[in-house]
Amino acid sequence: MNLNNLTITIITYNRYCFLKRLIGFYQAFETEVKILVLDSSSEKLEDEILIAQLESENVLWKRYAPSIFFAEKIAKGSEFINTEYAVLCADDDFLFPSSLDKAVKFLQTNQDYSSCLGLQYKHQVVSFFSKKIILFRESAIGGSKVVEERSSERILKYLSGRSVYYPMYAVQTTKDLKNIWQETSEIVSDWGLSEVFPCSISLSLGKMNVLQVPYTTRERNSFTWYNDSRVKEMYSFEKTEIVKKRLGEIVSKADEISTAEGIAFATKAINILIKRVFNNIDDLSSYRGKVKLKIIALPFIGIVLGKLYAEVRGLLVFYILNRARPLKYLNTKTKEYLSDALINNNCSQKDIVNSRKDY
């Protein structure tokens, strides 16, 4: 495994416990991979072990103001990447080095592909009688690569939901990653389109491959940080029109069509996405919503039971209905390091929720 031409760029905000376990995970492999940490935390760093990790030879730690929008943070931070390939990694995710190596090798020999990733999982650590157990499930079952010849076809497949995989955390060339995030920082100003736009640009540049090997596992997130009014704000007419225009220009150049045709396509594709987004917002008139409302309405203990109901239901859906399965294809070393990182961390779930709420 040779990762000396790859930089893992970690985006972090007020979750130093996650950052500590993630860097520890990568350093356990003793690879030559470069780690770039883009940190906009408002908290003061006092953990001596994490400070030592951040001062390691293979780690570059860059601090930014807490108010910086994450697209701008990535755009500015990517200027420090000097390897040929790069990949983004959230601070609560784990990208597996052996799969990153395979992704780099694939891109080296397949020039018509702009991104490469692999199978995605989610994990959660639960305690039974003081013993911690790690549960996994595949989180993108039935996902496929995006290999259509025209950029418009690839983008439409992604925005219409026909591809559950997307290149946000895929390996890309550093040149592409820098261009994508510079463009995104100039066009996108809110969370709603902050993944959609860069992923669409990536797909305009080339195809996306999905290797049939475990690639990442992500922290299960039961916290919903937006509501109906927030979604409407994120996908406002003004914000989406800017994206439609620029995406249309990008597609027109990639597919060699007129600008008007490109913008017409982008308008259609983004409108399909917005319709999907609003259809997915929890509707309190649904059966699930009615059950939850009845529980919460109970005097005195309704709120407590409501939270318990939500948690139990989430676990059932997460681990039973969604076909729970272990990461049995990981090599022994990766399993050992991953287990150690997840079992031995002391991250407060309350702090994690608050960090998601405030960001």
Q: Which pLDDT tens digit goes with each residue over 12-43?
A: 999 999 999 999 999 999 888 999 999 999 99
Confidence check: pLDDT of 294 > 60: no
* CA 95/CA 169 separation, integer angstroms: 9
Q: Determine the 3-state secondary structure of 123 from DSSP.
A: strand
Separation between Cα atoms, residue 183 and residue 280, nearest integer Å: 28
Tokens of 17: 């416990």
pLDDT band at 217 (very low <50, low <70, confident <90, very high): very high
Least confident segment among 116-125, 237-246, 261-270: 116-125
Distance of CA 241 to the CA centre of its chain: 24
Query: Given a cut of 50, is residue 287 above it in pLDDT?
Result: no
- What is residue 104's predicted lDDT score, i.e. its pLDDT? 98
Helix ranges (DSSP H) in the chain: 16-28, 48-54, 70-77, 97-109, 151-159, 174-187, 196-205, 228-234, 237-255, 259-280, 287-296, 302-316, 332-343, 349-358
Residue 57 pLDDT greater than 90, yes or no = yes
Tell me which residue of 2, 29, 4 sits closest to 330, measured CA to CA: 29
Higher pLDDT, 297 or 284: 297
- Answer whether residue 257 shows pLDDT above 90: yes
Which of 270, 101, 304 lies closest to 192 in space, CA to CA? Answer: 270
Structure tokens at 67: 């108010």
Is the separation of the CB atoms in 110 and 206 below 8 Å? no
pLDDT value at 325 more than 60: no
Q: How far apart are CA 228 and CA 250, in angstroms?
A: 30
pLDDT at residue 306, rounded to an integer: 57
359 has a pLDDT exceeding 80: no
List every span in the chain annotated with CATH 3.90.550.10: 6-220+326-358
Structure tokens belonging to residue 27: 């350093």
Place of tokens 């929008």: 69
Q: At residue 319, does pLDDT exceed 70? A: no
Tell whether the model's pLDDT for residue 323 goes beyond 60. Answer: no
Q: For the chain, give the percent of residues with pLDDT over 70.
A: 81
> How does DSSP assign 253-270, residue by residue?
HHHT--HHHHHHHHHHHH
Q: What is the pLDDT of residue 275?
A: 92
Predicted confidence (pLDDT) at residue 295 exceeds the cutoff of 90: no
pLDDT score for 303: 53
Question: Which carries the bigger pLDDT value, residue 302 or residue 340?
Answer: 340
Structure tokens at 93: 């995710």
- Segment 304-319 shows an average pLDDT of 58
What is residue 296's predicted lDDT score, i.e. its pLDDT?
A: 47
Residues 97-118: pLDDT tens digits?
999 999 999 999 999 999 999 9
Mean pLDDT over 283-301 rounds to 51
CA 104, 338, 2 angle in degrees (round to 5)?
25
Which residues have C-beta within 8 Å of that of residue 256, sequence separation ≥ 6? Answer: none
Q: For residue 21, is it left (φ>0), alpha (ψ between -120 and 50) or beta?
A: alpha
Q: Note the pLDDT tens digit of each residue in 120-156.
A: 998 888 776 677 878 788 887 777 899 999 999 999 9
Asked whether 81 and 178 are in contact (CB, 8 A), the reply is yes
Q: Provide the pLDDT confidence category of residue 8 given band limits of 50, 70 and 90.
A: very high
Residue 188 pLDDT grade (very low, low, confident, very high; cuts 50, 70, 90): very high
Q: What pLDDT, on the 0 to 100 scale, is given for residue 321?
A: 41
102-116, 216-230, 275-289: least confidently modelled range: 275-289
CATH class, range 6-220+326-358:
alpha beta
Contact 227, 221 (CB under 8 A): no
Whether 251 shows a pLDDT value over 50: the answer reads yes
- pLDDT-derived band at 347 (thresholds 50, 70, 90) equals confident
Backbone phi, psi, residue 59, to 5°? -115, 135
Residue 330 pLDDT more than 60?
yes
pLDDT of res. 224: 59
Contact (Cβ atoms closer than 8 angstroms) between residue 146 and residue 165: yes
pLDDT of residue 329: 75
Which sign, positive or negative, has the C-alpha torsion 43, 47, 51, 54? negative
- Tell me what pLDDT residue 231 has: 87
